[in-house]
Amino acid sequence: MNLDNTDKQILEILQTNGRITNSELAKLVNMSPSPTLERVKKLERNGYILKYVALLDPAKVGTHFFSYVEVTLVRHGKGAVERFMNSITELEEVLECHHITGGADFLLKIATKDIPAYEDFIIHTLTALPDVQHLKTLVVLSTLKQETKLPINGD
């Protein structure tokens, strides 16, 4: 699927306001509601739109501690990597997991209630996973920018 300017405009708008009504969206892209809805459905079917979510205030839901953790595995073979990836997807504290290059194998973004909860997670959960050899924690002191909106470059 090639994105035209209207598709790109729809994606830009939905990234800013996922709750916009189809009628409002149609007005903003200068189309009638029916073809606008069909375009959105097509973008969903083709995997451009993965899901719709609500972004929460972490402090109001009791999440006050964020960290990034570099994880190095004992082995780098396919089995070890797959075991780790399968295990990590089940952990709700892990907001992001990236397979990376460099000194570590994975970079995780972790969210917990506080430092003691983080310590408990590291000791009893993360280091207990098979093949984990080394962890390096980077603590988030403050967040200056946190975006969810992606630049639309595709054709």
- Residue range 73-83, pLDDT digits in tens: 998 889 999 99
Summarize pLDDT for 1-56 with one digit per residue, the tens.
899 999 999 999 999 999 999 999 999 999 999 999 999 999 999 999 999 999 99
Q: Give 144's strand partners.
A: none
CATH 3.40.50.300 fits 5-45, yes or no: no
Average pLDDT on 131-140 reads 97
Domain residue ranges in the chain: 5-45, 59-139
In this structure, what token pair is assigned to residue 39? 């375009």
Cα distance between residue 155 and residue 153, in whole Å: 7
Q: What is this structure's pTM?
A: 0.89
Q: What is the share, in percent, of the chain residues with pLDDT greater than 90? A: 95
Tell whether the model's pLDDT for residue 145 goes beyond 70: yes
In this structure, what token pair is assigned to residue 30? 């200068």
Which CATH code is given to the segment(s) 59-139?
3.30.70.920
What per-residue confidence (pLDDT) applies to 58?
A: 96
Q: Which residue has the tokens 């209630």?
A: 113
